[in-house]
Chain A
Amino acid sequence: MGQTAIGVFLVVICTLLEGVGQVFLKKSVLGAVRWYLWISFGVVILLLETVIYSHALRFLDVGAAYAISSLNLISVTFMSRCLLRERVTRTRWIGVCLIFIGVGLVVARA
């Protein structure tokens, strides 16, 4: 596996961790029993994401890593739909996809 491929792989892992971590934080404010466990796990996952992301920057250009990490939007929306049963309408998906494309265009050249 090449250096770039490793970097891309790590950033994609980060986007998945972002989705899971955010779902845990949302769970903590939904009146769940043992909300402090959800919040703690959420924070630990997001910290782990930061460590992996920093590691990914050794293999990837910052602009490229930042652009790929805009996949966070898709990951968070997908997990909100599947794990939190949020109502993600077609209009919301269109918005998310437009933001994903727009952010990609803005940061890819940064």
Chain B
Amino acid sequence: MLKAHGAIKSNWMSVRKKFPIRLAAGLLLAILIDTALQLVWKSAVLSLPDDGSAWLNVQAVLHDPLFVFVILLMACQFFNWLMILRNADLSYAQPVTSLSYISVFCLSVLYLKEAVDLIQIAGIIIVLAGVWFISQTDHVTQSEEHEA
């Protein structure tokens, strides 16, 4: 029993080392903000008057609270992204945040009633497989001294 507990603890420590909580939380937040950003942006664009006048569109943008929300989300995304970059390689973090393509797609299908086909579902499975491969690599490049 104690042996099994020790093995579980050791496995958990190994997972923590491979994928620190702070990094996991940052990546999750990045995916959530990106998803919200894209959906709010889309709703905001759809709410614009459809008269084709660029100037009226700019005025509508400046007075629409949704666009203020978009800018706020962008600022949060930027600072969270810098925090992620402090804790992980760029070549690790960037592909993982591609999971937002999947969340945006799923929410668009659920709430915006967009059509879905088999090729898109295959695409989602391939993206998930790709993120799994990335998660098997070290999240940060060790310096030469550490490797030696």
Would you call the interface of chain A mostly helix, strand, loop, or mixed?
Answer: helix
* CB-based contact A107/B119 at 8 Å: no
Complex-state Cα separation, A93 to B91, whole angstroms: 9
Pick out which of these stretches binds chain A: B9-17, B64-72, B127-135: B127-135
Give the distance to chain A from B113, nearest Cβ to Cβ, in Å: 14
Q: Please tell me if the beta carbons of A102 and B105 are within 8 angstroms of each other in the complex.
A: no
Q: Is the interface of B mostly helix, strand, loop or mixed?
A: helix
Say yes or no for A6: interface residue by CB 8 A criterion: no
Report the bound CA distance from A100 to B134 in whole Å: 12
- A72, A95, A97 pick with most chain B CB within 10 angstroms: A95
On whether the beta carbons of A86 and B90 are closer than 8 Å, the reply is yes
Q: Taking the complex as formed, is B92 at the interface, i.e. its CB lies under 8 A from any CB of chain A?
A: yes
Q: How many residues from B make CB contacts under 8 Å with A?
A: 38
**A49, B136: Cα distance in complex, Å:** 31
Contact between B117 and A106, CB atoms less than 8 A apart: no
Contact of B85 among A25, A88, A104 (CB under 8 A): A25
The reply to whether B127 and A94 form a contact with Cβ atoms under 8 Å apart is no
Q: Are A87 and B141 in contact, CB atoms less than 8 angstroms apart?
A: yes
Q: Is residue B82 within 8 Å, beta carbon to beta carbon, of the partner chain?
A: yes
Show the binding face of A for B, using Cβ within 8 Å.
22-23, 25-26, 28-29, 39, 70, 72-73, 76-77, 80-81, 84-89, 91-92, 94-107, 109-110
